[in-house]
Amino acid sequence: MRHVDFSPLYRSTVGFDRLFTMLDSLSQPDGGQTYPPYNIARTGEDAYRITMAVAGFAEDEISIEAHRNVLTIKGEKAETENGESTEVLYRGIASRAFERRFQLADHVEVNGAELKNGLLHIDLKRNIPEEMKPRKIAIANGGAKSSKQIEAKAA
């Protein structure tokens, strides 16, 4: 993929820094990050849900942070010290640490998170402020005004 230079646009635009940063990040590969798998679903007109498969992780081993339109989910497995020395012959259940980031649109907020049956559900809602919502503008009737006579009538 070719890299596009946005520096001329930085000089002639104001307030589009975030857009250009996002476009720059699209051209950079994410390193083939596939763990843990996740789904993003639309559950309503302004509601979304991210579902991540985090089997084997407990609530206290997962942290969720939303900061400046970036949702970060981190998982780190605690070391098991149960006194027994076991030798794992085959490890098919992943227990490695992970960090997954999601870029959120403006006015999208995290409503809550729930860990159930090995799936982490994160509910998101778009809350558009009233001043940003479209509003109807009434059109005044201009024909109701009385017209004034400027010249006097000829006799």
Q: Give me the percent of the chain exceeding a pLDDT of 70.
A: 68
Q: What is the pLDDT of residue 2?
A: 58
This prediction has a pTM of 0.64
Q: How far is CA 71 from CA 95, 99, 126, in A?
A: 22, 10, 14
Amino acid making up residue 82:
N
Q: Where are the domain boundaries for CATH 2.60.40.790 in the chain?
A: 33-79+89-129
33-79+89-129 has which CATH code? 2.60.40.790
Residue 52 near residue 37 (C-beta atoms within 8 A): yes
| Per-residue pLDDT reduced to its tens digit, 52-110 | 999 888 899 999 999 988 899 999 987 665 556 788 888 777 678 899 999 888 889 99
